[in-house]
Amino acid sequence: MKDIPAFPGTQYANGIQPSGWSEGMTLRDYFAAKAMQPVVDDFLASGWSFANEDLSQFIAQHCYEIADAMMKARGD
């Protein structure tokens, strides 16, 4: 399940959330963001430039693959 909220809000007493309420980022997005920093650090340390859109896309895809593995390990 990829739409689990990372930081679920509290429900109101009647269990209804206000109109337009958003749970924010998903747990998958959170995991991908956490995976991104060391990946970016490694590329920067190797002298890569992020002006290359293909590299940026590769890193984003790679981080979501890591996030998906983390979700799978959780049983989600």
Digit-coded pLDDT (tens) for 38-75: 988 988 898 887 777 788 898 999 999 999 999 999 98
Instruction: Give the side-chain half-sphere CA count within 13 A for 27.
Output: 14
| Residue 4 · residue 74 · CB < 8 Å | no
Domain ranges of the chain: 27-74
Burial class (CB in 10 A: 0-12, 13-18, 19+), 25: middle
Task: Note if the pTM is more than 0.85.
Answer: no
